[in-house]
Amino acid sequence: MYSFWGETVLDPFLGTGTTALAAELEGRDSVGYEINGGFRPLIEANLGLGGASPFPAAEARVGKRTT
């Protein structure tokens, strides 16, 4: 698939966050979902969450479904 600059990329299988990282590097927003909680530390590390982010202007939120 492809997208244009400024569009939002949907990643229904976020995994380690590589697609979100690539989207940010290419000037796209991204939304990703991952049901395996074991990936959370890798996602946070790859996207620089909880520490020095490689994208200071980016907003990132990680949440957990409660139901």
Pairing mode of beta strands 29-32, 8-11: parallel
**Predicted local distance difference test score (pLDDT) of residue 9:** 92
9, 24 Cβ separation under 8 angstroms: no
Question: pLDDT tens, position by position, for the chain (67 residues)?
Answer: 678 888 899 999 999 989 988 988 888 888 988 888 898 888 888 888 766 665 555 666 667 777 6
**Predicted local distance difference test score (pLDDT) of residue 53:** 61
**Predicted local distance difference test score (pLDDT) of residue 12:** 92
**Predicted local distance difference test score (pLDDT) of residue 24:** 86
For 59, phi and psi rounded to 5 degrees? -110, 130
The domain locations on the chain are 1-60
